[in-house]
Structure 1
Amino acid sequence: MAREVITVYAREEPPDRWDAAIFLAGPTPRAPEVGSWRPEAIAELEERWKGGGRLVVFSPEDRHRVHFDYVGQVEWEERCLHLADEIVFYVPRDLATMPAFTTNVEWGMWHDSGRVVFGAPPEAPKNRYLLHYAAKLGVPRATDLPGTVAAALGRIGTGAPRAGGECQVPLLVWRTPSFQQWYGAQRAAGNALLGARVVWSIGDHRGLRVRIRVAAEDRVKEGEVVIYRPDISAVVLYRPGPSLEETTVVLVREFRAPAATPDGFVHEPPGGSAPGGAGGDPLRTALDELAEETGLVLPPERLRPHGDRQVNATLSAHRAHVFSAEITAAELAGLGTAGPRGVAADGERTLVEITTFGEILRGRSADWASVGMVAGVLAEAGLRG
């Protein structure tokens, strides 16, 4: 697709494909004699857009500056705000001609979405509160329109080509390895993404409500939320016993708020995720997490890979890369005397638990995913009851 910038004005239908999309949020003049800042913003975007494809600019002003249906306008803005890869908040507030009351509300709705930039002339009044939260959340800020536009385009880069329902996946999700891993699996199955909407975003964890055509069943499934987060690596440490049930297994206990276990803790093989997610090295992550949570440092050749699977396929797209190691009596004794570990700065505090496979099966503390990891590893190790 050749380089182009398309402006979509209020209540106009968006195109069906683009590489990037920007929404111009901010005060709109209501009187014809008051000039708008948006034509200058569009001109800046046309000049600065360096991507090789299509940039779509959503302008909530009517192309001919005529009166409009209020409800239709609000619904169009909500739709296009969700479609945008970046929302440019430029607030040249004038209390007499452009008080920006609606802008204040929109800022409150989107300021923590991870896809906003904020700009305002230094002399514009009543922006201190907005600027406070922009600074607090690390939102890119500028004091003029060219700088604000540049900040948005800097985060977009060259964008990414998307079509149809893909356009409803913003770049901050589209570019994550976890989304691409899930979407690649869906496409390989012949399924088509018809629609999507980010419903929440916390750090590198995101929830996307999706609408999908299921090829094998020739129907559309909608309404479910897919959680995207980095893959994890888990290490099952064991020492064979007289029987399968008497085989020693090492778990870690850690308080996690979602736990609904009898003691309020999770009990699972040591493991976790690392920066880079699915694009990182699962073996390196496994070794690092093992050392971090138990204090046991092993060379890479000690870990046996068992492949990867989803942990909770009805909710989350992430996978667990499972490894194992048969440990020595000395290593087991050292683990038995280990104190609390973890990264205190991240609120992590782990304690080693030495148990048996039989106790794991009979107890109710380890979740089914952990039971499955341990059982799979011990089965592959040839241990039998």
Structure 2
Amino acid sequence: MSDEIIVVTPPDEPPPWWDAAVFLAGPTPRSADVDSWRPAAIELQRRWSGGRLVVFSPEPATGVVPDYLGQIGWEEAGLHLADRIVFWVPREPATMPAFTTNVEWGTWHRSGKAVFGAPPEAPRNRYLIAGATAEHVPTAQTLDETLAEALDGLSPGARRERGEREVPLIVWRTRSFQQWYRAHVDAGNELLSARVEWVFRRGARRRQVVYWALLTDIRVAAEDRVKARQIVLSRADLSSVVLFRPAPTRDETLVVLVREFRSTASTTDGFIHELPGGAGPEDVPPLEQAAAEVHEETGLSIRPDRLRAHGHRQIAGTLSAHRAHLFSAELTEREVDTLRATTDTPFGEAGSTERTWVELHTWAAIRAGDLVDWPTLGMLTQVLTDRA
């Protein structure tokens, strides 16, 4: 993979593919006698190594903006296409007030793509710096350090062509996106556009993407048509576990559920009643995650080799692209007694707001009531059918 840098200025169109892209956001000089900071920023990026890097520089090569509305559209497109948005704000109220920069910062500082830099002496940046701190946006006080922060994590890049270019690396690199995208590629479909509408991040410096949502246009090969403006929502796959104690009849089989308050609940008691399970970092195998979730949400320690795998399926296909990996384990009478003794004890992830309560129900009671949702009912049916 050979390294190259392509600088794109308005009104030019970007190249058809790249490995990474950076947008240089910040104030533009209002007069010719004021030097721009962008040439130095472009030169600093010459240390890039990771394939083809596209740098969106909103200053026209001629130094003149002939079409103001066209400039707005060009910048908006470049901001969406960029993997990193460099906000360098050497604000000077008379010559570089950075009014537009303030607007762009407000729009993009929570995107997971922003980097903020400003000289310590630059005025009226305290509010922006406070926002950067609150959102764990990398910050710096020199242009060199700001560019270093921007390039950190981009190399090596990932080649994206045509509509793929609209998927920033922060989403492109997730297993959940690649899993969804590979399914469409294998079906012969083509991603024409994919604008990021929302990304939810957590973890150290909020670098772990938990949820993402794209607004997509996809050419559907089997139907020879374009399905336009469809939202694709996804998250990391779940590991769900059916813990049960066999009984003389299937209806009498005892099943473990966990009760947890979730804001999405539309049940009569305002709680979700579900299987023990959840998601963790994408590098943790589903089996290990399943065992960890059982311990976290019920207090039981179940060795991974006791868990039987039942495959994986999408569980909310009209809403989300993520899947659940299903496992099960037969409990001993002693384990059931342990669980019965802890039904009034809250469990959950240490240091989080998660709080779960153990419940024991017969299969007949679960089917007859409305505690669980349809996917949970389906997973229980799969496990008890596989056991027959």
- TM-score over 0.5 (shorter chain): yes
Matched AA of 2:84: E
Secondary structure of 1:292's match?
helix
Superposition deviation, residue 344 in structure 1: 4.8
Q: Match of 1:217? A: 223
Distance in 2 of aligned mates of 1:349 and 1:343 = 8
Secondary structure of 2:256's match?
strand
Matched AA of 1:359: A
Q: Match of 2:98? A: 100
Tell me whether 205-214 or 169-178 shows the greater mean CA deviation. 205-214
The aligned runs of 1:153-192 (5 Å cut-off) are: 153-192=151-190
Matched AA of 1:303: L
Distance in 2 of aligned mates of 1:178 and 1:4 = 29
* Number of residues of Structure 1 aligned to a counterpart in Structure 2: 378
Q: Match of 1:11? A: 11
Distance in 2 of aligned mates of 1:11 and 1:202 = 32
Matched AA of 2:359: E
Distance in 2 of aligned mates of 1:249 and 1:240 = 9
Distance in 1 of aligned mates of 2:229 and 2:250 = 43
Distance in 1 of aligned mates of 2:303 and 2:120 = 57
Matched AA of 2:72: V
Q: Match of 2:133? A: 135
Distance in 2 of aligned mates of 1:315 and 1:378 = 27
Task: Select 1:71's aligned residue among 41, 47, 69.
Answer: 69
Secondary structure of 2:104's match?
helix
Q: Match of 1:294? A: 298
- 2:258–2:297 contact (8 Å) kept in structure 1: yes
Secondary structure of 1:99's match?
coil
Tell me whether 317-326 or 165-174 shows the greater mean CA deviation. 317-326
- 1:262–1:364 contact (8 Å) kept in structure 2: no
Q: Stretches of 4+ moved more than 6 A in 1?
A: none
Q: Match of 1:364? A: 370
Distance in 2 of aligned mates of 1:155 and 1:331 = 46
Secondary structure of 1:112's match?
coil
Task: Select 2:263's aligned residue among 254, 257, 260.
Answer: 257
Distance in 2 of aligned mates of 1:353 and 1:313 = 28
CA-to-aligned-CA distance 1:83-115 (integer Å, 9 cap, x gap): 000000001111110110111111111111111
Distance in 1 of aligned mates of 2:11 and 2:351 = 48
The aligned runs of 1:370-385 (5 Å cut-off) are: 370-382=376-388
The aligned runs of 1:1-385 (5 Å cut-off) are: 2-45=2-45, 47-51=46-50, 53-203=51-201, 204-276=210-282, 279-338=283-342, 339-382=345-388
Alpha carbons of structure 1 residues 188 and 67: separation in structure 2 relative to 1, 3 Å: closer
Superposition deviation, residue 301 in structure 1: 2.2
Superposition deviation, residue 300 in structure 1: 2.1
Secondary structure of 1:156's match?
coil
Distance in 2 of aligned mates of 1:103 and 1:226 = 30
Secondary structure of 2:250's match?
coil
* Identity within the alignment, %: 57
Matched AA of 1:248: L
Matched AA of 2:166: Q
Distance in 2 of aligned mates of 1:237 and 1:169 = 39
Superposition deviation, residue 310 in structure 1: 0.9
CA-to-aligned-CA distance 1:251-288 (integer Å, 9 cap, x gap): 11000111111111111110111112xx4211111111
Secondary structure of 1:79's match?
helix
Alpha carbons of structure 1 residues 274 and 67: separation in structure 2 relative to 1, 3 Å: closer
Superposition deviation, residue 375 in structure 1: 0.5
- 1:232–1:319 contact (8 Å) kept in structure 2: yes
Distance in 2 of aligned mates of 1:257 and 1:127 = 36
Q: Match of 2:204? A: none
Distance in 2 of aligned mates of 1:223 and 1:246 = 48
Distance in 1 of aligned mates of 2:357 and 2:335 = 16
Q: Normalising by the residue count of structure 1, what TM-score does the alignment of the two structures yield?
A: 0.96
Distance in 2 of aligned mates of 1:196 and 1:165 = 6
Secondary structure of 1:238's match?
strand
Distance in 1 of aligned mates of 2:211 and 2:352 = 16
Distance in 2 of aligned mates of 1:151 and 1:160 = 18
Q: Normalising by the residue count of structure 2, what TM-score does the alignment of the two structures yield?
A: 0.95
Secondary structure of 2:145's match?
helix
- 2:65–2:71 contact (8 Å) kept in structure 1: no
CA RMSD after TM alignment? 1.2
Secondary structure of 1:296's match?
coil
Distance in 2 of aligned mates of 1:198 and 1:23 = 16
Superposition deviation, residue 356 in structure 1: 1.3
CA-to-aligned-CA distance 1:115-174 (integer Å, 9 cap, x gap): 111111111111111111112222111111111111111121221111111100000000
